[in-house]
Amino acid sequence: MTEHIPILIVAIPMVTAICLPLVARLSPGAARAVDISGYIAVCVITVMALVRVLDTGPWHYELGGWPPPWGIEYVVDPLSGGMAVLVAFMGLLVSVYADSQRRQLPAWRSGVYDSLFMLLFSGLLGIILAGDLFNLYVFLEISSLAAYGLLSAGGNRAIVATFRYLLLGTIAATFYLLGVGYLYALTGTLNMADVTSQLPAIVGTAPFGVAVTLIVLGLAIKMAVFPLHAWQPDAYAYAPPPVTGFIAAVMSKVSAYALLRVLFFVLGAEGAAGAVIDIMGWVAVVGAVAASVMAVAQTDVRRMLAYSSVSQMGYILIGFSISNAHALTGALLLIVNHAVMKGCLFLAMGSVVWRTRAVTVDELAGMSRRLPWTMAAFTVAAISMVGFPPTAGFFSKWYLLQGAVEADAWVFAVALIVSSLLSAFYFLRAIERIYFAPVQDTHVRRARVFEVPVGMLVPVVVLGITVLLLGLFNRAIVTGVIEAALPEL
């Protein structure tokens, strides 16, 4: 059984997704059990896969026994294994969180909702493990379609935002597919390793440049980097909290992973994609700062968090663009950290909205006295976003800055610092309201403490603790996984 783990990581959630609506019709309780056990199973086998890969090196799985480049191949290496563990962990926590909110829905609707969630989960894991470019496209679309369905569950405004996202997401996927078409026409293969081996013959030709540009553009739109982020704040603000929590935490990070995979593993950083990477870096610098400025201007906390995500995606791209060992370590660490931090922030904010209907920064006043544990986790994650030691966020920024200084990329370093200062401004403003402002809302004042149900509280607190653990044990993560996951430079 263990030799089939790579395919099971994708197949278990996909089969579960198909079964869930049917099971939910028969018995909602059974559907819940199937749902949770699906996530737990994936968590267990992704950890098993990562442990094995760190021990024995990359694991190539040939689907149906067809050897690549003719057959489809799934690859688990330290990078994809690590990402898979991250996605599985977030999926499990969010599904526990969603459980409390889902009980209000009728049985068949909650079945469909869980099913879409599972499908999104499966698509993201597929992107991570795909060993060929076309499979990556298919999984990209599977996850996007599931995400459209989930985001639109947030009501009328969410539907309009989702339609915008759908148009932009489809443009992105079309660009990516066209780029893959160019690469296929040049090399006659879709397998990532095979494309790499044929690179020397095609690097520097005009069609190759077009292919790289189209692929990078497509994945960058999927990542929602500035200035291609317009759909994101609306969609995040109006979608159901667990959906936002999961999509904001993981989905853009998986696109970032796909970009890293294509740029550094398939195309190789040196020379092949040089100019595109440089331009990407400058766009990211503008984005990191501009998105932070826009975050300062927001009153709705969820929109503020969404703009902060856009800015953090800029940091990740800056890391890719500098592309020395320290900067890439920082970018990878940030992918992990940001998934945990942003997941924590959005889920905590979801609890606040669910309990008190407070959505603006001012309405957070005195919230620490109402939802003490949730707000403690929110604060830890917010401090980490700003980048205070010893939280996780400090170390990823530290590596990025070190990389920027080593590469003499002073503008990038300054952009990182300016953007961090701006984020300190808008996050500390929120923390100040939460802890020091007097309670304003009468609705909040009547009841004393009304913490959210355990099912919603535990995931948020676990994420908050994880932020601290990631910070304290960052050395172990960097030497244990990330250094093994870095591309050869």
Partner 1 sequence: MDQAFVGHSYYWLSAVLLLIGLHGILAHTHLMRKLMAMNVMQVAVIIFFIAISAKSEATAPIAIDHGTSLTAEAYINPLPHALMLTAIVVSVSTTGVALGLLIRIHRRYGTLEESELLERMRE
Sole binder of partner 1 in the list 30, 51, 57, 174 (CB under 8 A): 174
Question: Cβ closer to partner 1: 162 or 252?
Answer: 162
Sole binder of partner 1 in the list 170, 213, 360, 440 (CB under 8 A): 170
Sole binder of partner 1 in the list 68, 91, 111, 149 (CB under 8 A): 149
Contacting range for partner 1; rule: CB under 8 A; set: 58-66, 167-175, 292-300, 438-446: 167-175
CB of 105 to partner 1, least distance (A): 17
* Total residues in contact with partner 1, by rule CB under 8 A: 24
CB of 137 to partner 1, least distance (A): 8
Question: Cβ closer to partner 1: 167 or 454?
Answer: 167
CB of 188 to partner 1, least distance (A): 8
Sole binder of partner 1 in the list 15, 40, 112, 160 (CB under 8 A): 160
CB of 136 to partner 1, least distance (A): 12
Contacting range for partner 1; rule: CB under 8 A; set: 79-87, 173-181, 307-315, 365-373: 173-181
Sole binder of partner 1 in the list 15, 166, 359, 465 (CB under 8 A): 166
Question: Cβ closer to partner 1: 173 or 294?
Answer: 173
Does residue 210 touch partner 1 according to CB under 8 A? no
Sole binder of partner 1 in the list 100, 101, 152, 308 (CB under 8 A): 152
370-373 long-range contacts, Cβ below 8 Å, gap at least 24? 370/439, 370/444, 370/447, 370/448, 370/449, 370/450, 370/451, 371/449, 371/450, 371/451, 371/452, 372/449, 372/451, 373/451, 373/457, 373/460, 373/461
Binding site residues, partner 1, CB under 8 A:
134, 138, 141, 145, 148-149, 152, 156-157, 159-160, 162-163, 166-167, 170-171, 173-174, 177-178, 181, 184-185
